[in-house]
Structure 1
Amino acid sequence: MATKDAVLVGVFTLSGVALQQVFTIVASAIGERRTDRREARKDRRQLFGREIAQARRIQRMLKESIHETNDALEERLVKELDALAEINAEIRLIASDDVLRVVLELEDEMRTRVKSNELRASGPLPLAPMIDALKKEIG
């Protein structure tokens, strides 16, 4: 009888230990997923912040170049647009189709305006739709 009791106690003890291990593994996995989501959200914010900053930089340059243009400024505009294209390539990897459409449309509009002083003077660039889409994407 004592042997049966000892075996039962052992079985219950091992079951409790195994159950505790399962709970620990599940809790750890949940914590890791939460941390991964938090880091991904932080990465998105940083990337979208770079997108907005780069778009504003180009917007300012285009506005300043309405009245005065030179080869150095034109070269700088092309380099800034290339930097924007690189950021947009990163956005392609993580953003929704709506966000991607908005940022690519803005890039296309900027590239079009770089080619013509008349288009540069046609009014401000529509940054608000891009900013709104990025804010919505972050949540």
Structure 2
Amino acid sequence: MIIDTYWGKFFGDSADSRTLTQYLGSKSEVVTVEEIFQDFNLDELHGNYTEASLDGAGFHFDSAFQVVLDLSVLILESKKVGRFNLARIGGPHDRMMRIDATSERILPLAIALKHFALSPEDYRLEHIDESDWYELGNLCEEIRAQLDS
């Protein structure tokens, strides 16, 4: 499972990750990336997630890019496995969910992952040590390649 491989060290390990999990817990079994983009006004960032925070749907995120990191793993799990267990990612309920994403919605996320892999110093991820940036960059590239396939 994708979540077993990636969730923990960099993905799903921040306060923003917990907020995203709470948000997903308030949603139906199937949520679209389109809905998530609308709820958090991600389109207004035009793909520039480097230092942005997010507010929307009653939730606040300090790092838009952390949301991108976490969503990328959950989208990949949904794409490859078909669903994920909300409790497995720290959610309050033991229920299955799926995030549906079109290739048009995956593209800005994939570009952000690629950009981080090339220039991690451009991003505000205060909970990740500089010494870990390139390890995370390699993981971002792995996930991006799988999202593109």
TM-score of the superposition, structure 2-length normalised?
0.31
The structure in which a higher percent of residues are strand is: 2
The structure in which a higher percent of residues are helix is: 1
TM-score of the superposition, structure 1-length normalised?
0.33
Bigger radius of gyration? 1
